[in-house]
Amino acid sequence: MTMKQTDAARPVPAGGTVIPAVRAVGVHKAFGSLHVLKGVDMTVMPGSVTVILGPSGSGKSTFLRLINQLETLTGGRIEVNGEMIGYRYVERRGRRMLQTLDDRAVAAQREKLGMVFQRFNLFPHMTALENVMEAPVHVQGMRRAEARQLAIAELERVGLGGRLDHYPAQLSGGQQQRVAIARALAMKPSIMLFDEPTSALDPELVGEVLGVMRSLADEGMTMIVVTHEIGFAREVADQVVFMDGGVVVEQGGPEIIAHPSAPRFREFLAHVL
């Protein structure tokens, strides 16, 4: 039997159980006295799409930022591809203790994650191609010629093969966001995190970005997407998670959008639909 590349790339332990791409257990986050996340559990399987819904201020961005180690946990733990992030266990005087990882180890863990924000944050003085080449060259030390080929391929993947030498100001918001997606993909992440990637776009530009995300999902990319685009959630998500007040109020398959059981989720849907 031959194994497909995608299957081979997935971490399967001896027992045959698939290791979650992301597993959050009892995650808490406080900013000073503001308790933002109050025990969030979430499991994201490799190759699946999780859409997180929830009102503004419910802690969605904070949760994504914790996964990507842009914030540190107040409590609980997060595993990415089976590896605890931010910490490792060490034996000290016969006791198992947690030690924070050094910057290098954190950077290595963060390379597995690609993140796309509401604001595209492209370098304005660089072309689309140069924006996508930047991290492979300066973070990974890739040769320019190789990075150039990679960047062209990633820009073609998001439908921008004809815009390589355009500067951000010469691109529409939707095109800029697609460059931002290509830039994240160029680091070959195993998981992509999207934080309201279409919220800053004019309505007519939303579809092209959602289309790129949908094709990524079809290619088998593991994705966690915070969005208010209910149609995308319904059609693309394998798992829908509704957060409110720093907790997961309801989660399930995309069918929970049509049949919400929690009153707060029902109210939220009534507002956004």
Q: Residues in the site for Mg ion, rule: CB under 5 A?
A: 61
Q: Which is nearer to Mg ion, 137 or 225 (CB)?
A: 225
- Does residue 57 belong to the site contacting ligand ADP (CB under 6 A)? yes
For the chain, the straight-line distance linking the first and the last C-alpha, in angstroms and rounded, comes to 47
Least separation, in Å, of the C-beta of 213 and Mg ion? 17
Q: Match 């930047």 to its residue by tokens.
A: 134
Which residues are CB-contacts of 37 (< 8 A; sequence separation ≥ 6)? 27, 28, 29, 59, 62, 63, 66, 74, 246, 247
Q: How far is the CB of 32 from ligand ADP (least distance, A)?
A: 7
For residues 238 and 47, what is the distance between their CA atoms, to the nearest angstrom? 10
Query: 161 Cβ partners below 8 Å, 6+ apart?
Result: 152, 155
In whole angstroms, give the CA distance from residue 99 to residue 91. Answer: 10
59 part of the interface to ligand ADP, by CB under 6 A: yes
Q: Which one of ligand ADP, Mg ion, none is in contact with 163 (Cβ closer than 5 to 8 A by kind)?
A: none
| Shortest reach from residue 64's CB to ligand ADP, in Å | 8
Residue number with CB closer to ligand ADP (62 or 177): 62
Of 163, 164, 160, the C-alpha closest to 147 is 164
Bridge partners (DSSP) listed for residue 96: 91
Residue 58 binds to ligand ADP (criterion: CB under 6 A): yes
Helix axes 173-185, 203-218, angle to 10 degrees: 20
> Exactly one of 11, 12, 31, 204 binds ligand ADP (CB under 6 A); which one?
31
Nearer to ligand ADP, 78 or 158 (CB): 78
- 3-class secondary structure per residue, 164-193: CCCCHHHCCHHHHHHHHHHHHHCCCCCEEE
Of the pair 32, 203, the CB lying nearest ligand ADP is at: 32
Q: Which does 62 bind (CB under 5 to 8 A by kind): ligand ADP, Mg ion, none?
A: ligand ADP
For Mg ion, give the closer residue by CB, 61 or 176: 61
Return the residue of 3, 8, 34, 145 that touches ligand ADP, per CB under 6 A: 34
Binding site for ligand ADP (CB under 6 A): 31, 34, 36, 54, 56-62
